[in-house]
Amino acid sequence: MREPVYQANRKVWRNGVFSDGARLIPEETPLALTYNGGTYAVMMGSPEDLGDFAVGFSLSEGIVQSADEIETLDIVELDEGIELRMWLRPDKAAQIAQRRRNIAGPTGCGLCGIDSIAEAVRPAAVVPAGRVFSPREIMTAVAAVAPLQEINHQTRAVHAAAFWTAARGIVGLREDVGRHNALDKLAGALARDKVVAGDGMVLLTSRVSVEMVQKTAAIGAPLIAAVSAPTALAVRMADAAGITLAAIARADGFEIFTHPERVTGAVAGKESAYVVVA
């Protein structure tokens, strides 16, 4: 299987002087997801944790409701890319035939190829109340991500999605050149390990777009904590889905955009965001 990083030779110009050197950069590969012999989507992504990606993509797209509905999964390396071949039960295959679409997806583009506005902004699943988190727990969880980003340590060019619980800390972390792919990989890993998401939080190193909220809702996690800001549509989607959206997480705190009642000490007022200082 292809390595997720590549050593590239390059010339460096710094301080008015040229020098030669090498740098590790992330690999980017076409990933074709096929079901019962037909291509459903082609995404650009990092060639690792591909079993998790196949399962997580299938769940977040609503193709399957559980990992057990995928009867077989084969990862086939081709000259021009990698094919993730899945076979579903006959009844599921019939549903796929009705909604199959081909996506030529640039890196991390979660909506490319969708030809329906309704599909792009489809309502997210409503997440149960779950547990309440303290600001210290959120800060601890966010701080735990960076040390575990092995590929990013080498390349400084990939996103990560992680899942944290108070009992276990970081339960799983996945990296990819595409932020949507990283979250799909995490979803697949949690599903395959039968992790119940109601007691934990999803952690993102990227901005929070509407697709990231939809995917988190499919996982069933009640809280998202991200280092970057959300979009307005993501905020509205998180509010409707019952998800607490904490973003712009820094060493000194974070901002809560939706459902602050799930964070101890956050007082709801008239403002749309609640700033929590660690």
* Contact yes or no for 152/175 (Cβ under 8 A): yes
d(Cα 201, Cα 177) in Å, to the nearest integer? 22
Q: Which two tokens stand for residue 32?
A: 């074709």
If phi > 0 it is left, if psi is from -120 to 50 it is alpha, else beta; for residue 220 that is left
Cβ within 8 Å of residue 273, ≥6 positions away: 255, 256, 257
Catalytic-labelled residue, pool 75, 109, 114, 278: 109
d(Cα 109, Cα 186) in Å, to the nearest integer? 17
Q: Within 13 A of 249's CA, how many CA atoms are on the CB side?
A: 26
Active site residue 112: no
SS3 content of the chain, % helix, strand, coil (to 5): 30, 35, 35
Active site residues: 109
